Amino acid sequence: MTKLNDGNVVWVNLNPAKGNEQRKIWPCLVIESQASPLSLVIVMPIRDANGKTGKKLFVDIRDLKRAGLEKPSVIDVYQIRAIDPKRITSVMGEVDLTVLNDAKRRFGLLLDLDV
């Protein structure tokens, strides 16, 4: 596996999952790749944008080609996860810094943090 960077879009094996958690092999945005003392990577799943564009808990991905995506997609801020890097199967692309920071900011708003 190549070195991960914040803002990478990666394929992640999210199985096993429980209840309403995302499952299967899923594209995710790497939010934090280097600060964990447990060697974990923090990711947010990327979903089809159908009906989710402009909603508070979803961040639109504007440059699909750069991200390695084929259809309109959004970052699901609500389903953030800390995962073992071994779950990552490949790097697809990346998002620009504006999109990465927007995802982080919206997560802070979700937690009622002043960010």
Task: Please report the domains of the chain, with CATH numbers, ordered by start residue.
Answer: 8-110 (2.30.30.110)
Element (H, E) at 43: strand 41-48
Q: What is the pLDDT of residue 56?
A: 81
Global pTM reads: 0.85
CA–CA gap between residue 8 and residue 30 (Å, rounded): 5
Count of beta carbons in the 10 Å neighbourhood of residue 36: 12
Distance, CA of 112 to CA of 85 (rounded, Å): 28
Mean pLDDT across the chain: 87
| Predicted local distance difference test score (pLDDT) of residue 51 | 78
- Give dist(CA 33, CA 3) in Å, integer: 9
